[in-house]
Amino acid sequence: MLVDDIGDVTITNDGATILKLLEVEHPAAKILVELAELQDQEVGDGTTSVVIVAAELLRRANELVRQKIHPTSIIGGYRLAMREAVKYVESHLAIPTSSLGADTLMAAAKTAMSSKIVGADSDFYGRIVVDAVSAVKSVDPDTGRVRYPVSAINILKAHGKSAKESRLLDGYALNMGRAAQGMAKSLKGARIACLDMNLQKARMHFGVQVLVSDPKELEKIRERELDITRERIQKIIDAGANVILTTKGIDDTALKYFVEAGAIACRRVPKDDLRRVAKATGGSIVMTLADMDGNETFDPANLGTAEEVVEESVADNDMIMIRGPRNTRAVTVLLRGANDYMLDEMDRSLHDAFCIVKRVLENEQVVAGGGAVETALSVYLESFATTLGSREQMAIAEFADALLVIPKTLAVNAAKDATELVAKLRAHHYTAQTKPGQEQLCRMGLDLIEGSIRDNVAAGVVEPALSKTKIIQFATEAAITILRIDDLIRLEAEPTEGEE
């Protein structure tokens, strides 16, 4: 539980979120915070693992420095170990998803959620996650690459009912209703105008002074102020728009024109939502109607298109659903839960699972979870270190030992005997790498419920291969960055005359 200076509470076990909310002063610690954020951006999960591995690498490097081994030798050894580890994962440990069957996505989603708040209902949420990511599939027309944009999945949170009543909605949902009850409830063949401007009665800017000698002129000024807004709205409607979304306000007079035109209008749309709608429907956000000639026009090319826009009642709230947008298919996950803290943590958990499923779909390679990869790499790098006759040998051996921090931490968190379990796991992986015909033992990992060793691929505990390689690369680079530092110089601000 994290409480900030204004009393906002965050309850989470997501590594990146915890580190982001901490006010870290130490410069070296800031590198580890940025490391977790980088892992979150690149992969979406494994933020805690990457910080734990980087910290363990630094701890062991510090011991080597005390033994009078130069940091340059340690850095060289770490770099070599990282390259060998990544190469070994890709050549020996990565398994193509095509050889594992259709349940791989579900298994990866459940593995990503196993340590989260939704872990107890991972079957239920795993299905939502896999369906949502599969639904937003898009193909790049230029390169032919298949992409799964997680940004096309909108997450809405609503209080009440149980967490098991969360569901997947078809279409992009905006958490608001129509601006006026007289508007149509649904429109087929929607042409959507995304505006970042006020559609309220035009008012004079501050600093503009108008001297009126005749009281009748004052009434004309008021009429003209109304006419300016009406003309703007008419230009938008004449361009073919029948759904208008704006981040600013629409006053009652302006709403009347939209009702007469049979259009749907929504005001105070969050900017993030508007950007996503514009991207999904192929529209552009318009900030002003002014053109190069000094006149006001609305270009129909700025309109986005969708098959249908409809208002629906979901969980006591009205929501605008945008179905069948032109560019990417959009879906919405509606989360139900007891309070804000629970819903926020469910949102973070599902985001991690979305990213993991996306990586599995795009990279088509998975590895066994439960400490299998780290233990296999530790055994491999230990034997690799003995083949070197240079100073880097000790650094690579320490790198191999450092990787065991992951299976050890997993065992400790599950209240099991870490020393015994990791020793058994190492024995299995040593057999897999040295005895012909025993290669399938490289899939052995920890079963933290029974406190034993099992084939984790068969048990459905899998992770994207990309996640593991990125953890190793980012953790090593961060450790090397800090190892390169030999002195810290603090630059104090020059005192001003008053302070002297």
Task: With beta carbons less than 8 A apart as the criterion, state whether 332 and 155 touch.
Answer: yes
How far is residue 500's CA from residue 497's CA, in Å, rounded to a whole number? 5
The pLDDT tens digits for 132-153 are 888 888 887 778 788 888 887 8
Q: Smallest Cα–Cα separation from 458: which of 468, 471, 444, 472?
A: 444
Residue 97 falls in which region: left (phi positive, over 0), alpha (psi -120 to 50) or beta: alpha
Residues, the chain: 500
What CATH number matches the domain at 178-325, 3.30.530.20, 3.40.50.720, 3.20.20.150, 3.50.7.10? 3.50.7.10
Q: Smallest Cα–Cα separation from 74: which of 488, 486, 487, 480?
A: 480
Cα–Cα distances in Å, from 125 out to 115, 207, 350, 351? Answer: 13, 57, 8, 12
What CATH number matches the domain at 12-98+367-483, 1.10.560.10, 3.40.50.1360, 3.40.630.30, 1.20.1050.10? 1.10.560.10
The reported pLDDT for the residue numbered 147 is: 83
Task: With beta carbons less than 8 A apart as the criterion, state whether 126 and 353 touch.
Answer: yes
The reported pLDDT for the residue numbered 378 is: 92
The reported pLDDT for the residue numbered 205 is: 65
Q: Smallest Cα–Cα separation from 258: which of 278, 277, 240, 244?
A: 244
The reported pLDDT for the residue numbered 249 is: 84
The reported pLDDT for the residue numbered 442 is: 84
How far is residue 434's CA from residue 444's CA, in Å, rounded to a whole number? 15
Please report, in tens digits, the pLDDT of each residue of the chain (500 residues total): 888 778 888 888 777 788 888 888 888 888 888 888 888 888 877 788 889 999 999 999 999 899 988 888 999 999 999 999 999 988 888 888 887 777 888 888 888 888 788 878 888 888 888 888 888 888 877 787 888 888 878 888 887 778 888 888 877 888 888 888 888 888 888 888 888 888 777 666 666 777 777 777 777 777 777 777 788 888 888 888 888 898 888 888 778 888 888 888 888 888 888 888 888 888 888 888 877 777 778 888 888 888 888 888 876 778 888 888 887 777 888 888 888 888 888 888 888 888 888 888 888 888 888 888 999 999 999 888 888 877 888 889 999 999 999 989 988 988 888 888 989 888 988 888 888 888 788 888 888 888 888 888 888 888 888 888 999 999 999 999 988 887 777 777 777 765 55
The residues assigned a catalytic role are 14, 47-48, 352
Indicate the domain borders of the chain. Answer: 12-98+367-483, 178-325
The reported pLDDT for the residue numbered 80 is: 92
The reported pLDDT for the residue numbered 82 is: 92
How far is residue 186's CA from residue 7's CA, in Å, rounded to a whole number? 42
The pLDDT tens digits for 85-132 are 999 988 888 888 887 777 888 888 888 888 788 878 888 888 888 888
